[in-house]
Amino acid sequence: MDYVIYSIIAYLLGSIPFSLVIGKTFYQTDIREHGSGNLGGTNTFRVLGWKAGLAVTILDILKGTLAVVLVYLFAAQLEPLIVGAFAVIGHSFPLFAKFKGGKAVATSGGVLLGVSPLLFAIIFVSFFVFLKISKYVSLSSMLTGVVAVIVALFMRHIGLIIVTVLLATFVIYRHTDNIKRIKNKTEPKITWL
């Protein structure tokens, strides 16, 4: 029963569409009607600028982290990675935004931050290295997912291995359209790094 309760809480946390909230509250803009239409940090950066994009990315990370921290604080008998996964599902299929959300990169990172700050630090650096080289946020996100799996394998934490494989697979799946655009050379590149 505890798993059900905390998974619902995690899903609801993940469902908070911060890009939509910040866009409508501070910019009078529905982020879904601009750019890629995606409710995530990348589209927020493109449409609303770096301040909004940074705020959304941080808040999307913290959704995943908070879901995990609540388990550590109040339900230590549960596996935090399982509960955290529901925050990722909530972000991608949010109850509060007609089940059309983001691509789960930041919230997945937030879950890993809550469970293993070392792993998060490694993937954080990896993301920016890939971004510097490729200029593609989408490609960098997918490659970072692969790095997370590799690091988890070295850490020999079976739960972390399983969840990083699932999260990386999910992130790559959510980027199917981006993969096509990269192949067709129509995927937007960043210019600020």
What's the pLDDT score for residue 150?
97
Domain annotation covers residue 61? yes
* pLDDT digits 0-9 by tens, 57-81: 999 999 999 999 999 999 999 999 9
Percent of the chain residues topping a pLDDT of 90: 96
- Which domain covers residue 113, as residue numbers? 2-183
What does the pLDDT average to over 33-52? 93
> Which of 159, 38, 131, 164 minimizes the C-alpha distance to 91?
38
**Which tokens sit at 47?**
């449409």
* Tally of domains in the chain: 1
* pLDDT digits 0-9 by tens, 109-141: 999 999 999 999 999 999 999 999 999 999 999
Percent of the chain residues topping a pLDDT of 70: 100
- ∠ CA 110-176-92, rounded to 5°: 35
Domain annotation covers residue 25? yes
* Length reported for the chain: 193
Domain annotation covers residue 190? no
pTM value > 0.85: yes
Q: Check whether 44 has a pLDDT greater than 90.
A: yes
What's the pLDDT score for residue 109?
97
Domain annotation covers residue 44? yes
What's the pLDDT score for residue 6?
98
